[in-house]
Amino acid sequence: MSSLSLWEETLNNLENGSVRSANFIDGTWVANKEVKTQILEAFKAGQLKEENGFVDKHTLMPQKFSVERGVRLVPGGTSIRRGSYIARGVIIMPPSYINVGAFVDEGTMVDSHVLVGSCAQIGKKVHLSTAVQIGGVLEPIGAAPVIIEDEAFIGAGAIIVEGIVIKRRAVIAPGVILSKGIPVYDLVNERLLNIGEPIPENAIVVAGNRPVKNNNNWAKELGITLQCAVIVKYRDEKSDASLVLEDFLR
CB count within 10 Å of CB 135 equals: 20
Tell me whether residue 206 is in a domain.
no
Q: What is the pLDDT of residue 249?
A: 47
Tell me whether residue 93 is in a domain.
yes
Per residue in 17-44, pLDDT (tens digit) is 999 999 999 999 999 999 999 999 999 9
Tell me whether residue 84 is in a domain.
yes
CB 183 within 8 A of CB 205: no
Instruction: Return d(Cα 18, Cα 227) in angstroms, integer.
Output: 40
For residue 24, give the CATH number of its domain.
2.160.10.10
Tell me whether residue 18 is in a domain.
yes
Q: What share of the chain is helix, strand, coil (3-state, %, to 5)?
A: 20, 30, 50
The count of structural domains within the chain is 1
Which residues have C-beta within 8 Å of that of residue 27, sequence separation ≥ 6? none
Domain that holds residue 175: 6-183
Mean residue pLDDT of the chain comes to 93
Instruction: Return d(Cα 244, Cα 4) in angstroms, integer.
Output: 46
Least confident of 45-54, 210-219, 227-236: 210-219
Instruction: Return d(Cα 175, Cα 173) in angstroms, integer.
Output: 6
Biggest alpha carbon–alpha carbon distance for the chain: 72
Tell me whether residue 144 is in a domain.
yes
Tell me whether residue 56 is in a domain.
yes
- % residues pLDDT > 90 (the chain): 86
3-class SS letters over 27-83: CEEEECHHHHHHHHHHHHHCCEEEECCEEEEHHHCECCCCHHHCCEECCCCCEEECC
Tell me whether residue 47 is in a domain.
yes
Instruction: Return d(Cα 148, Cα 126) in angstroms, integer.
Output: 8
Tell me whether residue 158 is in a domain.
yes
